[in-house]
Amino acid sequence: MINYLELKKETVSLFKNCFDDNNSPKNTENIGWQFFDNTSSNSFVTIAFDDEKKKPAAIYAVSCVKFKVGDTTSIGTQSLDTITDIDYRGQGFFIKLAKDVYSKAQDSGMALVYGFPNGNSIHGFAKKLEWTVLDPLPFLIKPLKSQYFTKKIKALRFLPNIKLSLSKFRFSGNYLLKAENHFPDEVNKIWEIFSSNIEVAVVRDKAYLDWRYIQKPNEDYKILHCWDKKETYLGFVIYAVKEKHNGSIGYIMELMYDLKQPKSGEHLLSYAVDNMKKEGADCILSWCLEHSPNYNIYKKEFFLYMPEKIRPIELHFGVRSLQKSNEEIIGDRKNWYISYSDSDTV
């Protein structure tokens, strides 16, 4: 007999065991951070539990975050952890659990569910769960070393490892840059300015940034802040270098600044790129839609659109409205702002 359980402190071990047993291990601290400690202190998780075998059969989970939708602030959900145990696949658990979660979220007034399904699940989200697909996911790449790419092609493996980015960062007397592992209250004003023309996005205020980058367990993000000569706070960049995808990959997690002073954004990004070079990154990735406020700064730093056929993993971008009133605005890709802050895997 299958029972349907919610994620509580008492059922965290069931949640963890299901992922661990299916080659996708989870850390207990991270589960608590994601589903109990988020900025909305809320989540919707359904665990299908087999009473006879005493094991979880499947899980569908969304975590709650504050969302800007037009001129209003709502609560949205991100679809994160979906798994069916190998012994229960093909029995429709994915769709059944997702519908159960969406129904509870909708009844609780949640605005939407969004996420980044992989190639195996995108058809289920689109065809059976009524998601609007907003592809392509906007990967930008800045290549730093040739061998990361040539070694993937047998005929080119003999070529030397050439540095593909030779420019060096230069400090400007107009700005003060400082690495600090905290966010000042002024980031709320920066978000207000930065998001003035953004229609749909996770609210990236101090509470969110603290949760996402300071409180997240088992991570080591670099956070660089910028002030002008009058000690006015202008913005920040968050980045990391990780051993992934058979290489050393740099990630620009977030780049946010006072839009009236775009040079500060350029300075922040240039510093982060230079530092990741020194850390030995083979390339740097970012997620940035072409209409985003910071897109032109990435282009000036020679970030290139990354074709889907050479991406290290197949991911998609989609959303489903949970309220009739916002279907049109959230279903339009041009209204969205996303970055690697939205990723649950970096």
pLDDT digits (tens, 9 = 90+) for 50-75: 999 999 999 999 999 999 999 999 99
What mean pLDDT is predicted for residues 94-121? 96
pLDDT digits (tens, 9 = 90+) for 23-34: 999 999 999 999
- Residue 304 falls inside a structural domain: yes
The pLDDT, as a whole number, for residue 2 is 94
Same domain, 158 and 280: yes
Q: Are residues 188 and 76 in the same domain?
A: no
Q: Please give the pLDDT value at position 149.
A: 62
- Total structural domains within the chain: 2
Task: Evaluate if residue 168 carries a pLDDT over 50.
Answer: yes
Task: Flag whether 196 is in a domain.
Answer: yes
How far CA 214 is from CA of 202, 238, 301, 318, in Å, comes to 17, 11, 27, 27
Identify the residue with better confidence: 236 or 41.
236
Supply the pLDDT for residue 161: 63
Mean pLDDT value of segment 159-171: 70
User: At residue 108, does pLDDT exceed 80?
Assistant: yes
Confidence of residue 312 (pLDDT cuts 50, 70, 90): confident
Contact partners, residue 24, CB within 8 Å, separation at least 6? 83
Domain membership of residue 319 (yes or no) is: no
Distance CA 336, CA 320 (A): 13
Weakest-pLDDT range from 211-215, 230-234, 307-311: 307-311
pLDDT bracket for residue 84 (50, 70, 90): very high
Any domain includes 320: no
Residue span of the structural domain in which 284 resides? 139-314
Does 155 have pLDDT greater than 70? no
Say what the pLDDT of residue 26 is.
95
Same structural domain, 179 and 49: no
Same domain for 104 and 174, yes or no, is no
Classify residue 181: in a domain, yes or no: yes
Residue 66 CA to its chain's centroid (Å): 14
* pLDDT over threshold 50, residue 198: yes
Last residue of a domain, one of 133, 152, 175: 133
In the prediction, which pLDDT does 172 show? 87
Quick one: what percent of the chain has pLDDT higher than 70?
Answer: 95
- My answer on whether 143 and 98 are in the same domain is no
Residue 329 belongs to a domain: no
216-5-79 Cα angle (round to 5): 45
Same domain? 305 vs 228 = yes
Q: Are 132 and 331 in contact (CB under 8 A)?
A: yes
Q: When comparing pLDDT for 307 and 121, which is higher? A: 121
Q: Give the per-residue pLDDT at 124.
A: 94
**Co-location of 110 and 71 in the same domain:** yes
321 falls within a domain: no
Residue 14 has a pLDDT of: 96
End-to-end Cα spacing for the chain: 37
Q: Over 50: is that where the pLDDT of 206 sits?
A: yes
The confidence score (pLDDT) of residue 266 equals 97
Q: Report in angstroms the alpha-carbon separations of 164 from 147, 270, 281.
A: 10, 15, 12
Residues 73 and 188 in one domain: no
Find out whether 238 and 52 touch, Cβ atoms under 8 Å.
no
Q: Are residues 93 and 201 in the same domain?
A: no
126/143 same-domain check = no
Residues 128 and 147 reside in one and the same domain: no
Choice between 310 and 288, residue whose per-residue pLDDT is larger: 288
Query: What's the pLDDT band for 156 if we cut at 50, 70, 90?
Result: very low
308 has a pLDDT exceeding 90: no
Among 27, 13, 16, 14, smallest CA distance to 217 is for 27
Q: Comparing 298 with 148, which gets the higher pLDDT?
A: 298
Of 118, 133, 148, which marks where a domain is finished? 133
Choosing from 133, 152, 180, the residue where a domain stops is: 133
- Higher-confidence residue of 186 and 324: namely 186
The CATH number given to whatever domain includes residue 213 is: 3.40.630.30
86 inside domain? yes
Is 166 in the same domain as 285?
Answer: yes
- In what helix (H) or strand (E) does residue 334 lie, and over which residues does it extend? none
Q: Picking from 148-162, 173-187, 247-261, 325-339, which range would have the lowest pLDDT averaged per residue?
A: 148-162
Residue 256's pLDDT is what?
98
